[in-house]
Amino acid sequence: CVELTKGDPNFRYLDGILNRLHLKRTETGRMQGVAETIAEEKDAAAPLKALLTVLSLPATAVNAGTLRVYEEMRALYPDPIILMAGRECSRHGVTTLDDVMNTLQNWKRNSLHSAEEIRRYMQKIDEQNEFLAAVYELTGMRNSRPNAADRRLAARWLDEWGFSVEFVIHCTTYAAGKERPMAYLDRMLEAFRGKGIFTPEAADRERESFQKAQAARPEESRPAAPAQRGPRTVEQQQDTQREYTHSDAVVDAMMQAWQEEKGNA
């Protein structure tokens, strides 16, 4: 009955406590006292309660079901890292145990083991998200949110291909207004990389040179416009986990000319 003083005292609450004690005695075969059993339960629930606090969820959410979920989390990581996952979820406005579990599973898939590895990983995610937010703004994708597919593009441009943030941001002006700006930007940066172009000045010279050469060519010898495709799907309607492929939808005259130079038209 002392336990009832911490909540709304009623017989249903009391019945739940007694039923839980009865089930535990049945499962373990132990005839320990009520006070001892309740003390053990409190110790077992303490880490879960800490997680619920971080998620701004009530302590009354502690029950057999949430304790089982927490034990599944413990199969992935120890309590301090589970709490880190809870703080990350809360910081991004997602506050369910499912969100925490998904975060832990993602860290495990990325082979993150220690708290320091996770901190470095999350710092990288934050940097990529900040970079992508600037790209979205400049390309007109203002309603888009950073996602895993775009973070992989950012990693390719900045880490694998070695472009500077300033250079990519400069190049976003070329992709503004395109049907699929991210795919177009990816294609264009690949072309610049193939030509050894890594500065804004060199990129501008390349485009100006192309435009002059294009204007001097007879109209019939210019690259044909890409074939018409089906109805346009705006960026915001596409799956946030989309992967970008190189297709006619991102090819314009300049891009096609670059392909012809490589024999890939």
What pLDDT is recorded for position 229? 46
Please compute the mean of the pLDDT values over residues 102-118 and round it to a whole number.
Answer: 94
The residues near 250 (Cβ < 8 Å, ≥ 6 apart) are 178, 179, 180, 183, 184, 187
Residues 6+ apart with CB under 8 A from 101: 69, 72, 73
126-179 pLDDT, tens digit each:
999 999 999 999 999 988 889 989 999 999 999 999 999 999 999 999 998 888
Q: How far is CA 255 from CA 26, 66, 189, in A?
A: 72, 54, 11
Q: What is the pLDDT of residue 107?
A: 95
pLDDT per residue as tens digits for the range 34-51: 777 666 666 778 899 999
pTM of this structure:
0.63
> Mean of the per-residue pLDDT values for the chain?
81
Per residue in 58-96, pLDDT (tens digit) is 988 888 899 999 999 999 999 999 999 999 999 988 889
Distance CA 263, CA 258 (A): 9
In the chain, what is the greatest distance between 2 CA atoms, to the nearest angstrom? 96
Residue in the block written with tokens 């709490």 = 83
